Structure 1
Amino acid sequence: MRVDFAPESLEPGAFYRLLTAVVVPRPIAWVSTLSAGGVANLAPHSFCTVASTDPPVVQFTSVGVKDTLRNVLATGEFVVNFAAEGQFAAVNDTATDFPPGVGEFEAVGIAPEPSATVAPPRVAGSPVAIECGLYDTTAIGDCTVVFGRVRHVAVAEEALDEHGHPQLSRLRPLSRLGGNEWGATTVVHDRRRIRYEDWTGGERTEG
């Protein structure tokens, strides 16, 4: 037995809440930008993923037109900082609708650090920061998908294992769930993909 929901049967806000409650967990792109006047902006965006590996491109979605989108369009640069569980309160604070011209780094008390390849600062306490140049944007309804060509990735040393590879248990990423809920990584399953040549779970068919 299922309960069916059709977009046309609900007002947009209600369907948005439905989608964000079922498409979970979502990594948080804690995006830092600079305004044309040089004000450092920092805001969380929970529609975020990798768009391409070659060339390396990441994406986040701006719901509506906010300072982050304006700044990216004006300067062509941004940083996707990822947040750890312990930064939950700070991330939530930067979602406050501060007026234009008020920088979240200063207002919330978040320490910045210089980026290596772009002008917007990184979040000093972020375990991972991805520096991007604007690759493209796509407008879809009330949203704008922002694609960033990755120029540089900076990972905190303590988040790397002995082979220099990021470890989830050390990153401890914060995620967004439905409503006012936030998520933390609690259980991780580690399992390799099975090659077809090794498949024993059922009868194989050719073609």
Structure 2
Amino acid sequence: MTHYSYTIAEGHGLPHNPFKAIVAPRPVGWISTVGQDGAFNLAPYSFFNAVCDTPPMVLFSSSGFKDTVANVEASGDFVFNLATEDLKDAMNRTSAPYAHGVSEFDKAGLTPVASDLVAAPRVGEAKAAFECRHLQTIRPVGLDGTPADNWIVLGQVVAVHIDRSVLVDGLFDVTLARPLSRLGYMDYAVVDSVFQMTRPAAD
């Protein structure tokens, strides 16, 4: 047999679950929020992506109802900050399970910068950031009818910030920004090369 196959009910039988290693690379959703007490929160999410571009929307999924989700529902907004190679250690520090009210900005030595249209601050050192207003939060339900311990948060982008150093002839250059991507296990990768393909016409 050329494939290693298994059902979820039977289990994968491997040293580690390969699911996230296969669904990769994934953008890192580095999400900043502000709590009702005014405390800033910053956390990276492995499940993050764009939903559409007109209007521009993004989503992230949280395993467990964490401070980020609670802050978004209370404040009505959040900011996506681009995690890049130069900020990998700072991003990783913000993933630690700090106590409620502790600012990950402070722990990681990052600069909170006031956003233009939302209450949540953005990471001053980030090469790009999206200010987002909360659209909805969805708790998915499995095939057996049991709600998952996950919350999918959708937001609409209302403002964009781009470091001029990564703009070349008006285009965002990922090879200069070097964004991080999340893989499986403890693995990450850096986007540092690109190639182009044009969409073919129908036969």
- TM-score of the superposition, structure 2-length normalised? 0.90
Are 1:146 and 2:144 counterparts? Answer: no
- Structure-1 residue corresponding to 2:173: 167
Are the equivalent residues in 1 in contact too, given 2:176–2:192 (CA < 8 A)?
Answer: no
Deviations 1:2-27 (A, max 9, x none): 1112111239xx88x42111111110
Q: Percent identity over the alignment?
A: 35
SS of the equivalent of 2:176 reads helix
Q: Please say if residues 175 and 192 of structure 2, whose CA atoms lie closer than 8 Å, have aligned partners that are also in contact.
A: no
Q: In structure 2, what residue type is equivalent to 1:147?
A: L
Distance 1:66 1:8 in 2: 28
Q: Which has the greater radius of gyration? A: 1
Superposed CA deviations along residues 86-134 of structure 1, whole A, max 9, x for unmatched, are 1111111100000111110112211121111111110011111000010
CA–CA separation in structure 2 for the residues paired with 1:123 and 1:77: 15
Query: After the TM superposition, which segments of 4 or more aligned residues of structure 1 sit over 4 Å from their partners?
Result: none
Unaligned runs of 5+ residues in structure 2 are: 141-147
Q: Which amino acid aligns with 1:194?
A: P
Residue 196 of structure 2 corresponds to which residue in structure 1? 190
Identify unmatched segments of 5+ residues in structure 1: 197-203
- More helix per residue: 1
Matches within 5 A, 1:65-80: 65-80=65-80
The answer for the alignment partner of 2:118 in structure 1 is: 118
Change (3 A) 1:172 1:186: closer
* Counterpart-to-counterpart distance in 2, 1:51 and 1:6: 29
3-state SS of paired residue (1:9) = coil
Scaled by the length of structure 1, what TM-score is found? 0.88
Query: CA RMSD of the aligned region, Å?
Result: 1.6
| Shift of residue 137, structure 1, vs aligned partner | 1.2
Decide which of 127, 139, 155 is 2:162's aligned counterpart: 155
Instruction: Find the counterpart in structure 2 of residue 199 from structure 1.
Output: none
For residue 130 of structure 2, give the secondary structure of its aligned residue in structure 1: strand
Q: Which region of structure 1 is more displaced relative to structure 2, 181-190 or 134-143?
A: 181-190
Equivalent residue letter for 1:64: G
Between Structure 1 and Structure 2, how many residues are aligned? Answer: 193
Counterpart residue number, 2:52: 52
Alpha-carbon offset, residue 55 of structure 1: 2.2
Q: Which amino acid aligns with 2:186?
A: N
